[in-house]
Amino acid sequence: MGFSLTGEALETLGGLNTLVFDKTGTLTYGNLAVSDIISLNDDLDEMDVLNMVASCEKLSEHPLAKAIVEKAKDIEVDIEEPKDFKMFPGKGISCKNSYGLVYAGNSKFLSENNIDVNLDSKLDQLKHEGKVSIILALNDSIIGLIGLSDVIREDSKSMIDSLHELGTETVLLTGDNTETANYFASQVGIGKVYGNLLPQEKLDWIEKLKSEGKKVCMIGDGVNDAPALKTADVSVAMGSVGSDVAIEAADIALLGDDIGKIPYLKKLSNSTLFTIKANILISMAINAAAIVCSVLGLLNPVTGAIIHNAGSCLVVLNAALLYDRKFDDSIKKIDTENLEHSHYHFHNDGEHSHSHDGIKVIDEIKTESGVKHMHVHKHALDRQSCEAYHN
């Protein structure tokens, strides 16, 4: 089925009325790409900025850090080993290298380290483009900005729409700035958005929602989501891109990262709870009727035993009907002869060696080195028929 869960989690999921999402790696692919490298110091060029921040991010497991290090490796930057590396979850990191004491993170993190941040116009431009920004400081002054782009999963909006049709409220909690969070939320249809959150603040929001009498499911993938995942009534982790900590903390793991399965799980859980309650009523009604018939002398021990066992069989058969119900309208169907396949690739604009014939290009990201976009095209399941699109 593409997911793992316990019976308790499935039962609890049916009573939920609020689903809370993280953004990166959940509603988006988490395949971040460095789109902007901005130097704010006349003595440092863009390569210096990239080298400095890549050195600082080299030991971090955060998706933003991995994207920056990957960018540096792609253009063959010799990444320096950091010293005195420190990570501050939800804020940023610091380290020492040949340039000096380097800070990389959000404006709140730099302000806490007594570094003046006055970049509103440049930050606003990146935010309005839906990009994540990392501010870079050397010693006690700002020296650069890194902008990163992410791509929304193509089934995120349909998944949110399906949840709304089921009467479920959706909320976005993210560590990204509020403007970027609002941009992505507007694309998928989530109305309630809370940005600039630390891991503890995500946990506080989950507790606040629960204190309002809501039954909450948290869906996330990162280390920063683990406390909130553990606190929610039910939690779902993205199995492929999720961190080990998040998967361990969650009750349900989506093994293929297909978030289209979330409405499916909700429908299955709703029907399971309905069937459980119906079976209880059926068995109680049969037993009550049998008691009355016994008192009236209409049943003897043999017929009473037959009715008792018949009632048990009826309950089991009713439960077995769950296997034949169709809840998978929101799950991607795999047609081995005409597979719709999405993948990322990077190439310098106009210099690609693969074919663009008969494909749909979506979510194009322009960077200084070229263009990154996603292909959607159809082909048979075997790789050979798709080789022309992967070169």
- Give the amino acid at 150: D
| Distance in angstroms between the alpha carbons of the first and the last residue of the chain | 32
| Spatial contact of 55 and 80, defined as CB atoms under 8 Å apart | yes
| Spatial contact of 149 and 363, defined as CB atoms under 8 Å apart | no
Alpha helical stretches, state H, 113-243: 120-128, 156-165, 178-188, 199-211, 226-231
Closest CA to 234 of 193, 212, 265: 265
Residue 356 — φ and ψ, nearest 5°?
A: -110, 10
Instruction: Determine whether 161 is an active site residue.
Output: no
Closest CA to 28 of 330, 366, 257: 257
C-alpha distances (whole Å) from 68 to each of 51, 127, 133, 181, 326 are 10, 18, 12, 21, 44
Rounded Cα distance, 159 and 258, in Å: 10
Rounded Cα distance, 225 and 228, in Å: 5
Closest CA to 65 of 36, 105, 29, 121: 105
Q: Catalogue the active-site residues.
A: 22
